[in-house]
Amino acid sequence: MPTVLVLLALMPFIYIAAPLLHMFASVKGTDIVASLSNQEMIRALGTSVLSAAITTLLALLFGLPTAFLLALKRFPGRRLLEALLLLPMLLPPVVGGIGQLNLYGPNTGIGALFAGHGITLTNSVIGIVLAQTYITSPFMILAAQAGFEEVPKELHEATRVLGGGMWNIFWNVSLPLTRAAIGAGVLLTFARAIGEFGATMIVSYHPYTLPVDIWVQFTSGGMNQIIPIAIVVAVFALLVALTSSLGRRKH
């Protein structure tokens, strides 16, 4: 029976690894090198890295206070807010993109208002960041919230006894003790932003991000053209996943 249990436990790993291993085995190294010199892919990669970095920074700036208060405070409607945070992760990303386009697209009041000041909220890097932030910010909040909840409450009480307020608890006590969880949240948010496709395609088709460029090249050149690029992206994602896993282990 233990052998059966081990075999069943191995199935998810086999299921995840098999397509990637087959993809690696079906392409030549020279094709991967050629993909790395593809100027269009390099531009798309640059756009993805830039927008994902801004997205992660915004998620960090706004997500940490949210995570801290959700972890610390008990108030009516808290569970409803936590459920709301899960929606971007549960909804099809395309639906999130349609909702955003309907709110601040070029034909809406908000979109027109910003356009009047020279700021384009769609089909721009700003649009990419808005789409990525909508989809990925819950990763940061949930990872940080889990870390904040593990901080001993006795340390909070000791800070209050010494005259410290909420900011002291956040900045001097909780934040230093939650660095590993926050680091894992940063990596997850960044990696998810790099791979975001559905909402980004709806809100900001141009400039191409890496996933949108992969889709465009797949529709124009087929499977053989896209596999080397997909391998480059898979290696990058694997490195981020390993780093995130190491961070969680330290935590």
Residue 245's pLDDT band, with cuts at 50, 70 and 90, is: confident
- For residue 211, what are the contacts with CB-CB under 8 A and spacing of at least 6? 48, 195, 196, 197, 200, 201
**Angstrom distance (rounded) from CA 69 to CA 166:** 10
User: Between residues 172 and 243, which one has the greater pLDDT?
Assistant: 172
**Angstrom distance (rounded) from CA 194 to CA 122:** 18
Tell me the CA end-to-end span of the chain in Å, nearest whole number.
33
pLDDT digits (tens, 9 = 90+) for 168-214: 999 999 999 999 889 889 988 998 999 899 999 999 998 999 899 98
User: Between residues 243 and 133, which one has the greater pLDDT?
Assistant: 133
Asked whether residue 93 carries a pLDDT value surpassing 80, the answer given is yes
- Residue 231 in contact with residue 32, Cβ under 8 Å? yes
**Angstrom distance (rounded) from CA 64 to CA 179:** 11
Asked whether residue 8 carries a pLDDT value surpassing 80, the answer given is yes
Residue 102's pLDDT band, with cuts at 50, 70 and 90, is: very high
Q: Structure pTM?
A: 0.86
Alpha helices in the chain (DSSP H): 2-25, 29-36, 39-72, 78-90, 93-104, 109-116, 125-149, 153-161, 166-168, 175-177, 179-195, 198-203, 210-221, 223-250
Q: Of the ranges 131-145, 176-190, 221-235, which one carries the lowest mean pLDDT score?
A: 221-235
Rg (CA), the chain: 21
